[in-house]
Structure 1
């Protein structure tokens, strides 16, 4: 597994930063929407407010964060050039942001024109993103990077499937096509969350956990086999589910085993590391613990509304926790790296982002996970409390990242004036 990165292929700072700095504010908007809608948004997964909140978190928060992370990581991990990205990234950013907002508005207010516009914008954003990433990932990469690159390729393929199904569902909502909407919505959610988010996080962890957490390296064979096995299980489940075959559970079981094994193995590496745990490690504990809980809830007998609980555990507990922890590492590092290469006398990464900042945000974020779980089980006033805490957590993340970027720009301007 590769730990040495090809920094000579690093894209310009503005390219990933516009995505990474925007991501938290979609989470804050989702939290405020939850405060406004209250218990209705946690009553059923099919409520308009629930759909709006879910897509602000998945397309807005996670979509922005993962697009920015991939545009940064693919060239430096694979050691390849990222063609077209500089010109297309503002278009992708604008279409993704606008599409996520319009889709949420369309769900919330039942506006067909919003859904049509959102479908066009989001389809365009993801087609361009997939084209940029696919061209880069199709190039020959460094041999040691192959496991991570292979996982990224599979995640991008899953994204293309999820987007295609999502566009078809949007077309159904405006009366353009006929679909078995309940079944295809479940398939869309599975490919978006497990195929895109899950496989991408798993693949990225093989690189970032050893690098930022100073753990032992993941076995090469594990890194090669887990993502395709997970995706293969998803394909098997999808076919069986749409055909209403009992063997669909073989695929679901394979996905559960892959994700559970990944979570356990990563936790073991984290607990065995020699360096003392810091706040970034706490995010990984929360993320991986939520992933294990997701697997347990999925496999347990019916008794609660598993869809809402699974959504909270997987989206907010697993994916958002991992992204929050990585953003607090990646953004200050990028600011420091580009500042150094611009000839500025930049303070260290720890000065750009003191550990006290993520400590506070982690407390708010962890509290939001607990409150959202409680609201999913017993809707009521807890939904508004959970939304308020989630909004504060995301706003704190957004302000912390923005202030670090602003402080670097001020420092660069001051040094330019002095020279």
Structure 2
């Protein structure tokens, strides 16, 4: 029995094979062929070229409160670009160096970022372009600046501002005031001056104010620049400017000046710009909005309360990252997020148009320089003025501003003019 069981196993196998063959032939004598299973080849996603942005920032120094907001805006717009494929074939990433708002750390930071593979460099700090100008130009790199002194904006240089020139901000504001806010034909020239810390930024403001006053003595009289080295006490400066009609105020110590100036009977309207908006939350904290009612703010991009492309992008970023609470906080205190998002959108356009011209694999600092000096221009949307570097010697992205007036009851900025204001011709 055991032997016959063993002998029967091959027979069962043969029977199974025969049954399978019969089934394959359909049992009717006609040969049928089996249809092979279709397989879809797995296509490997096209590899993207990584462009590394070397970000010289401040995470722990005197400017860190403002720069944390700026750096968040940078990361959000990079994420948006990568997620949407805004720059075809490109993956963006940022590597940041904490310069601690210390100029002596600018060169080491630049060298460290080079070692990390940075293709293009970015800074929001005002001292860094001064520290790095000779290296950037000598090594034919590119430094994109959120703040750039006029002296570093060389016609053939490789430092490009994604903001407006200091002189452009001042002269656009003064022309608008003369045309729309001060009746100099009836009242005579307005008395205008500056109160601030004694830094290069405000020195350039002073220079531009004096130049405009000299060119238009019928409109303005220059009342002088009234500086302190640092600190928050303005006794002498307040007494010297109480009867002014307009004042360009300090940046970081803005709130201390507002409180002291108006408490002691000052009557001037303040003339502010994007340098000041990071401190607007402190004006609200101090319940000081009524004191600056009617003061003027000149910005190169639309405000939170406007329906504009990049404004809506900034709101979407905040809602995605932190919901309504994050949006509310930014709209009340972190206004730098909005202006930074506008500037970084221009920065992405600089990269995108370079990649479009030379291809992802050929992106370089030299290719970007050639793009920016070949009639580079863009427009964010229908709500915006043109943006770019025209003529080729231009080193400031913005050439237009918007005028706003402060509503002292609410702290809102209300558009004072529906039109974009061009920088007046020199």
TM over 0.5, yes or no?
Answer: no
Identify which of structures 1 and 2 has the higher relative contact order when contacts are C-alpha pairs closer than 8 Å and 6+ apart.
Answer: 1
Instruction: Name whichever structure is richer in helix by fraction.
Output: 1
TM-score in terms of structure 2 length: 0.25
TM-score in terms of structure 1 length: 0.26
Instruction: Name whichever structure is richer in strand by fraction.
Output: 2
Query: Higher Cα Rg: structure 1 or 2?
Result: 2
